[in-house]
């Protein structure tokens, strides 16, 4: 009996020691160097070409992370530049940066760099990239010190509305505009449950950019492409959500 009690006490001491170590690790987690970085390493943005030659102001967020997540009580100064060797777009032609020094004010964790994009110089069939880099910071610069911005030109697009599938389930479907040339489609014509997916319209060429399924469930991949009939507005898509279905034909006829 005594041996049993001693074993129980030993097990409790071990458990307490492990728990204490885990608690200490939880308290220490996140402490360390404060690093400055771009919020995204890569991003594609659509720029509408409407014939006016408009110059767009595109914002690129810069942030710092580290410590315990609490904003610093001092300013963080950041200097950026264009990585001309890595960029396929030319500064001063397709885009420009008017300000290269930014300050994240005390109490905040983000600043915004601005790229001026000349839509008249873009080619929808050949999107170029602007690579922006952080040169210096009053805090440590992260390995994510560069961001690649793809400058995608698009034509006027008006796909939003109510449609009906003429094939597959032949259900009603709604397309909602999320931004210039980007849309949410309320469902496909294969599954009984309505899982939305996302498309982009690049001058009549449709691409599937994501799905609710791949965003919320592991083990699935998606893709697809299609076209829009300029006269009727009918959208024809080939859509894949592997391993559920592949190259499913979907024809959306506008109501």
Q: Answer yes or no: are the C-beta atoms of 181 and 200 closer than 8 Å.
A: yes
Among residues 94, 129, 154, the one where a domain terminates is: 154
Structure confidence at residue 26 as a pLDDT band (50, 70, 90) = very low
Residues above pLDDT 90, as percent of the chain: 72
Q: What is the pLDDT at residue 160? A: 98
Residue 106 lies in a domain: yes
**Are 133 and 80 in a shared domain?**
yes
Q: Do 140 and 173 lie in a common domain?
A: no
CA distance 193 to 215: 16
pLDDT higher than threshold 50 for residue 9: no
Residue 42 belongs to some domain of the structure = yes
Residues 6 or more apart in contact with residue 112 via CB below 8 angstroms = 59, 60, 61, 62, 102
In this structure, the answer to whether residues 108 and 186 fall within a common structural domain is: no
Domain containing residue 220: CATH number: 2.40.128
Is residue 66 domain-shared with residue 138, that is, in the same domain?
yes
Q: What is the mean pLDDT of the chain?
A: 87
23 domain residue, yes or no: no
Q: Which pLDDT score, from 0 to 100, does residue 19 have?
A: 41
- Report residue 225 as tokens: 């492409």
Q: Over the stretch 193-215, which tens digit does the pLDDT of each residue have?
A: 999 999 999 999 999 999 999 99
Residue 185's pLDDT band, with cuts at 50, 70 and 90, is: very high
Per-residue pLDDT of 106-120, as tens digits, reads 888 889 999 999 999
Residues 54 and 130 reside in one and the same domain: yes
User: pLDDT, tens digit, for every residue of 133-163?
Assistant: 999 988 888 777 999 999 999 999 999 999 9
Mean pLDDT of 213-223: 97
Residues 148, 126 within the same domain = yes
Which residue shows structure tokens 């970085």?
A: 37
Overall average pLDDT of the 13-28 stretch: 37
Q: What is the pLDDT of residues 44-98, one digit of tens each?
A: 999 999 999 999 999 999 988 766 777 888 888 999 999 999 999 999 999 999 9
pTM above 0.75, yes or no: yes
Residue ending a domain, among 105, 133, 154, is 154
pLDDT, residue 18, reads: 40
User: Where does a domain end: 154, 172, 203?
Assistant: 154
Residue 19 lies in a domain: no
Tell me whether residue 4 is in a domain: no
> What local confidence, expressed as pLDDT, does residue 163 receive?
98
- Mean pLDDT confidence for 175-199: 97
Residues 150 and 84 occupy one common structural domain: yes
Domain that holds residue 102: 35-154
Q: Please list, residue by residue across 114-144, b when 16 or more beta carbons sit within 10 angstroms of its beta carbon and e when fewer do.
A: ebebbbebbebeebbbbbbbbeebbbebbeb
Judgement on whether residues 41 and 146 belong to the same structural domain of the protein = yes
CATH number of the structural domain spanning residue 106: 2.60.40.1740
Percentage of the chain exceeding pLDDT 70: 85
Of 136-140, 170-174, 190-194, which range is least confident?
A: 136-140
Q: Please report, to the nearest 10 degrees, the dihedral formed by the alpha carbons of residues 203, 205, 209, 213 taken in order.
A: 130
Residues 132 and 127: their CA atoms lie apart, in Å, by: 16
């Amino acid at each position: 009996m005594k041996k049993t009690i001693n074993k129980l006490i030993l097990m409790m001491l071990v458990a307490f020691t492990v728990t204490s170590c885990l608690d200490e690790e939880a308290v220490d987690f996140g402490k360390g160097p404060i690093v400055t970085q771009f919020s995204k390493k890569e991003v594609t943005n659509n720029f509408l070409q409407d014939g006016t030659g408009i110059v767009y102001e595109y914002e690129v967020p810069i942030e710092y992370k580290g410590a315990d997540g609490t904003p610093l009580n001092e300013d963080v100064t950041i200097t950026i530049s264009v990585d001309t060797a890595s960029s396929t777009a030319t500064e001063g032609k397709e885009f420009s940066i008017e300000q290269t020094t930014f300050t994240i004010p005390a109490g905040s964790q983000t600043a915004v760099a601005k790229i001026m994009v000349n839509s008249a110089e873009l080619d929808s069939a050949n999107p170029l990239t602007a690579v922006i880099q952080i040169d210096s910071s009053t805090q440590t610069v992260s390995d994510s010190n560069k961001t690649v911005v793809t400058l995608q030109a698009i034509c006027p697009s008006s796909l939003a509305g109510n449609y009906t599938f003429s094939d597959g389930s032949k259900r009603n479907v709604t397309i909602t505009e999320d931004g210039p040339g980007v849309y949410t489609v309320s469902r496909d014509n294969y599954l009984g449950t309505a899982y939305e997916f996302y498309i982009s319209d690049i001058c009549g060429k449709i691409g599937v950019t994501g799905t609710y399924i791949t965003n919320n469930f592991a083990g699935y991949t998606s893709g697809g492409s299609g076209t829009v009939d300029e006269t009727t507005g009918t959208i024809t898509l080939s859509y894949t959500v592997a391993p559920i279905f592949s190259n499913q034909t979907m024809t959306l006829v506008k109501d």
